Chains A and B, each alone.
Chain A
Amino acid sequence: MIIITTKKLIKQYRKGKIIVPALNDISIKVKQGEYISVIGKSGSGKSTLLNLIGGLDTPTAGDLIVQDKALQSLSRKELAKYRRFVVGMIFQSFNLIPSKTARENISLALIFGGVPGKERKRRACELLDMVGLKDRTDHKPSELSGGEAQRVAIARALANDPEIILADEPTGNLDSSTSSEIIDLLVKLNKQKGKTIIMVTHDEEAAGKVSDRLIRLKDGMVV
């Protein structure tokens, strides 16, 4: 079953009068439960593609259909809901809120998800337990290692139980052994929970081992 479809997807950034093409005519299909790795040189448009699928950005032209819904037809409010319940995003730089503890970072996503107070605490602890950070609930991001921080970010991405996980170079800031721990966690989510995963990476070898399919980008096009 196809969960994501892009048709002739185009994204251009405008810098004054100069138009910067980031994505050029991207047409791909992603099946439910697939583990896809996106590779390509720096500036090839990997992050742009992920941001479009994640609903953080809107395409300049073309269609983007996720779970039979055309994202370009959604209002800003509906798009926020989409980000909340359909996709979970993970970034290279973790993007945790520095002033909040691990549990509070997860709680924030649960607040947006409309989870009531008592339930929130329980769910957050449960999620931290699942990523193996049971004893780090009250630590702030600055008190966590890179690997731990990324696991908190993964737990947060799972807070509202989305169908799709979008990971933009999740191991980019980590050493190789920690990286493989994170990749293992993603594989586990894919295999055990059936999450559809799209992961941007530079490590083609590792990507080849774990993913069902590779999408190679060059100058904003699939090659």
Chain B
Amino acid sequence: MSNLWRTKLRSVLTILGVVIGIGALSSMVSFGVGMQKNLTDAFKKNDLFTSLNVTARSVNLEEISSGNLSNLNEKLQEPVTALNDSVVEMIRKIPGVVVAFPEIRFPVKLRFRDKETNLTLSAVPVGMKSFYPFSEIKKGQFFKNDSSFQLLIREKTLQDMGFKLKDNPEDTSAISGKYILLDTDSVIDSAIDIISKDIDLRGILANPFMVLMSQRRLPFKDTVIPFKLTGIIPEREGFGFDRFGGGVFVPLETSKRIPNLGFDNVWDLLGEDLPGDKYGSVYVRVNDMKMTKAVVDTLKNKGLNVFAFSEELKEIKRAFMIMDSLLGAIGLIALVVAALGIINTMLMSILERTREIGIMKSIGGSEAEIRIIFFVEAASIGLIGAVFGLGLGWLVTRIANAVMNSQLKPQDLPAVDLFSFPLWLILGAIAFSVLISLAAGLYPAIRAARVDPVKALRHD
């Protein structure tokens, strides 16, 4: 070690190169790992690993776009398990399935306290009460039953309409100009209207030419259905997004009684309905991630098409691997430059220490021992560089994170941690740095071992 510090400045600069290299590498990889962790956590939080989507028939879009239609034709000839209530009931009985319900979703107009907005309405059964995001309801409560005229609204939807809840911990006076403040207790159970558009079928049947003739007035009619606002779904935290789109939720059975222009009904209208195929898709909830695979297999055996996020995870993992590698490559370049620095420093040091090497040989040092001495020096550079480099990387990520969060805060977004420093990253970075340094020390060490002692000791 004393040799290492003898030419202190040069050593410090060489180590600094490694510090920067490892700092860049570790912060880059830390970002990749952090993003992956955030996304996986979000998936877990939103139960994506235990959620499945069942559709009646799969159409392979890739095949169609590549012009291979023979398969498509075969597919269309295959017997189809239609998605109707009896199928939903059957799915419910598969072991491991907790909840299964048809996904009903259509656009409506919402009217609350003289304000109106267009949004998507989704239907959920009472069985979803204990699942995210419905488990997060703090203001109000979930539906009493599947056919009540109760309604859940997202806090975000209220905000978009210009309302803000009074009991929000933020300074209410500052936003009072922008928003109408609501007293939470008085909002719960207050009236809210769903205004649904529907085609006046009877009108069309009475006069089919009406559609063609009256361009201005299409045969739509509005239906106003009074609901009670029973609960507010709070805003999501972190990288959250729940798979339940839509701004308002109504009970499953109730939704079926709302006239609408949903996708299914257009097929109804055209009379192209498959026999008994009532729903476009069914949402299935599995009780445990471990059961997902078995449930997927059972559903596939029944001729149903299943989309499971857990199956997509492999793809996502691969995408992240590519991202991590790209980020790592940037850091790697810095480390390669640092390695060149090590080679340069060590070759210089060998030139300066030729005599010393000659002395070591004259007192019985073997080539292997001299090589080891230089390897140890290279490894020390790598080790010290890695430790401080990790410190630098950590510091950089903390600063970047703080800057990022300071940007998020004014936008009312929750704080996030973009980076992650797992133990394997720390140990891996140290091992990698030492390894790279040893590789850089390889040629200098061989050169050192080959020094001719007679020549080395000759000049004074």
| Chain A partners chain B | yes
Q: A56-B454, A80-B367, A91-B457 are in contact. Are A108 and B362 (CB under 8 A)?
A: no
Task: Tell me the residues in window 422-460 of chain B with beta carbons closer than 8 Å to chain A beta carbons.
Answer: 453-454, 457, 460
B355–A95 touching, CB < 8 Å: yes
- In the A-B complex, the 5 residue pairs with the smallest Cβ-Cβ separation, listed nearest first, are A84-B364, A80-B366, A112-B364, A109-B363, A83-B364
Closest B residue by C-beta to A98: B356
**Closest chain B residue to A91, Cβ basis:** B457
Closest-by-CB residue of B relative to A52 is B454
> Is B361 interfacial (CB-CB < 8 Å)?
yes
* B2 beta carbon closer than 8 Å to chain A: yes
Known contacts A93-B460, A97-B356, A99-B2; is-contact A109 B367 (Cβ 8 Å):
no
A57-B453, A95-B358, A108-B365 given. 15 additional CB < 8 A pairs?
Answer: A54-B362, A57-B454, A80-B365, A80-B366, A80-B367, A80-B369, A85-B364, A88-B363, A93-B460, A99-B6, A109-B364, A112-B363, A112-B365, A112-B369, A159-B363
CB-CB < 8 A to A218: which residues of B?
A: none
Count of inter-chain pairs, beta carbons less than 8 A = 64
B6–A160 touching, CB < 8 Å: no
Question: When chains A and B are docked, how far (Å) is the Cα of A84 from the Cα of B361?
Answer: 9
A160 to B365, CA, bound (A): 12
Inside 8 A of B457's CB, which chain A residues have their CB?
A: 56, 91, 95
CB nearest to A54 among chain B residues: B362
B360 within 8 A of A: yes
Query: Is the CB–CB distance between B366 and A81 below 8 Å?
Result: yes
Q: How far is the CA of A52 from the CA of B353 in the complex (A)?
A: 23
Interface residues of A (CB under 8 A from B): 51, 54, 56-57, 76-77, 80-81, 83-85, 88-89, 91, 93, 95-97, 99-100, 108-109, 112-113, 156-157, 159-160
Asked whether A80 lies within 8 Å of B364 as measured between CB atoms, the reply is yes
Interchain CA distance A91-B358 in the complex, whole Å? 12
Q: List 21 A-B contacts (CB under 8 A).
A: A54-B362, A57-B453, A80-B369, A81-B364, A83-B361, A83-B362, A83-B363, A88-B363, A91-B457, A95-B355, A95-B358, A95-B359, A97-B359, A97-B360, A100-B2, A109-B364, A112-B360, A112-B363, A112-B366, A113-B364, A156-B363
Q: Which residues of A contact B369 (CB under 8 A)?
A: 80, 112
A89 to B363, CA, bound (A): 7
Question: Given A51-B454, A56-B453, A95-B355, A89 and B366 touching (CB < 8 A)?
Answer: no
From residue 1 to 19 of chain B, which have CB atoms closer than 8 A to chain A?
2-3, 6
- Is A95 within 8 A of B367, CB to CB? no
Given the complex, which residues of B lie within 8 Å of A83, measured CB to CB? Answer: 361-364
* CA–CA, A88 and B360, complex, Å: 12
CA distance A56 to B366 in the complex (A): 11
B270 at the interface (CB under 8 A from A): no
* Contact A108/B363 with A51-B454, A91-B457 known, Cβ cut-off 8 Å: yes
The reply to whether A80 and B361 form a contact with Cβ atoms under 8 Å apart is yes
Interface bits B364-375 vs A (CB < 8 Å: 1, else 0): 111111000000
Question: In the complex, what residue of chain A is closest to B365 when comparing beta carbons?
Answer: A112
**Cα-based distance from A149 to B271 in the complex (angstroms):** 109
Which residues in A have their C-beta under 8 angstroms from that of B359? 95-97
